[in-house]
């Protein structure tokens, strides 16, 4: 029995560097633990230029032998922070690639609400969590002032959402300011009435893909999600895919963020800047 598909045939009996013929050319792999291993074999043409967001096309055939001893690059993203960066190297986002990034206002609620953490967390539990993650007292005070009626779990969720998502997104955008590729940020803020999930993680997906009628979307949004908001988001994503411009200003020192809900989509400059300034590297130093 052959372990290779019909379109692939082994052409070399080498013990260390087996050669295999594929429909597009010959590749050279390695033998590891008695197993022939091939990595990074292209399975489609690069999805750039005219192929962007189109159906996959076969890779270009190659002449000679192509090394298949290492994995190819993953989807580009920011490198991991030390020391993980040394263990999990990854390519950075190219400065000439247009970038659209964003988050939901209440990402945390997808986990905190169903688990009951928004109600269960005590003031002592909140204080211990803030100490563990070294959240400055002045930062906590800014969030509390903007949410005077928030329960401890809701306050922790708001802080966690920004620490894990909004602050890193702002840092990426700032690092790319003035780069050849444009950078744009959005925030999704329409609150779902389902179980009090609010503007939780993944809620925006049904709007972006304009499929609010699908069961997966209805489970998060309920039956009466605003179609006009889906129309606006879907159109913006299609424009970005086609032209690189979703329809709002490029990131600059005024920090423009397109807000999708609640209400009519609109650009907000430096939203909740007092909270952002509570985190490194934006924290204002005293004196």
Q: How far is residue 3's CA from residue 37's CA, in Å, rounded to a whole number?
A: 12
CB-CB contact of 189 with 104 (8 Å): yes
Tally of CB atoms within 10 A around 162: 24
Q: How far is residue 282's CA from residue 279's CA, in Å, rounded to a whole number?
A: 6
Closest CA to 41 of 52, 28, 54: 28
The two three-digit tokens of residue 203, written as one number: 């809620």
Q: What is the pLDDT along the chain (287 residues), one digit of tens a residue?
A: 234 444 545 544 456 789 999 999 999 999 988 889 999 998 898 888 888 788 889 999 999 999 999 888 766 566 666 666 666 665 556 678 899 999 999 999 999 999 999 999 999 999 999 999 999 999 999 999 999 999 999 999 999 999 999 999 999 999 998 889 999 999 999 999 999 999 999 999 999 999 999 999 999 999 999 999 999 999 999 999 999 999 999 999 999 999 999 999 999 999 999 999 999 899 865 54
CA distances from 164 to 104, 122, 132, 170, 176 (A): 12, 22, 15, 11, 19
Closest CA to 47 of 70, 28, 75: 75
Beta bridge partners of 257: 185, 268
Q: How far is residue 17's CA from residue 195's CA, in Å, rounded to a whole number?
A: 57
Closest CA to 78 of 208, 158, 167, 201: 167
Its pTM stands at 0.70
């Amino acid at each position: 029995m052959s372990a290779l598909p019909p379109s692939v045939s082994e052409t070399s009996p080498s013990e260390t560097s087996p050669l295999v013929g594929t429909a597009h050319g010959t590749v050279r792999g390695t033998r590891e633990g008695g197993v022939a291993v091939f990595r990074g074999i292209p399975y489609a043409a690069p999805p750039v230029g005219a192929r962007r967001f189109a159906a996959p096309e076969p890779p270009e055939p190659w002449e000679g032998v192509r090394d298949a001893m290492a994995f190819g690059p993953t989807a580009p993203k920011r490198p991991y922070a030390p020391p993980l960066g040394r263990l999990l190297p990854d390519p950075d986002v190219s400065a000439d690639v247009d970038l659209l990034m964003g988050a939901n206002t209440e990402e945390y609620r997808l986990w905190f609400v169903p688990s009951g953490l928004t109600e269960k967390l005590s003031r002592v539990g909140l204080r211990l969590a803030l100490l563990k993650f070294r959240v400055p007292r002045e930062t906590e005070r800014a969030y509390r002032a903007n949410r005077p009626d928030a329960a401890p779990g809701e306050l922790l969720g708001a802080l966690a959402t920004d620490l894990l998502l909004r602050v890193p997104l702002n840092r990426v955008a700032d690092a790319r300011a003035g780069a050849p590729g444009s950078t744009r940020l959005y925030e999704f803020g329409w609150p779902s009435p389902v179980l009090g999930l609010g503007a939780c993680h993944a809620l925006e997906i049904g709007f972006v893909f304009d499929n609010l009628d699908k069961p997966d979307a209805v489970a998060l949004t309920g039956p009466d999600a605003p179609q006009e908001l889906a129309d606006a988001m879907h159109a913006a994503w299609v424009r970005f895919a086609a032209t690189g411009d979703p329809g709002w200003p490029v990131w600059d020192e005024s920090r423009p963020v397109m807000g999708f809900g609640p209400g009519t989509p609109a650009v907000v400059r430096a939203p909740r800047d007092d909270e952002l300034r509570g985190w490194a590297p934006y924290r204002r130093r005293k004196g």
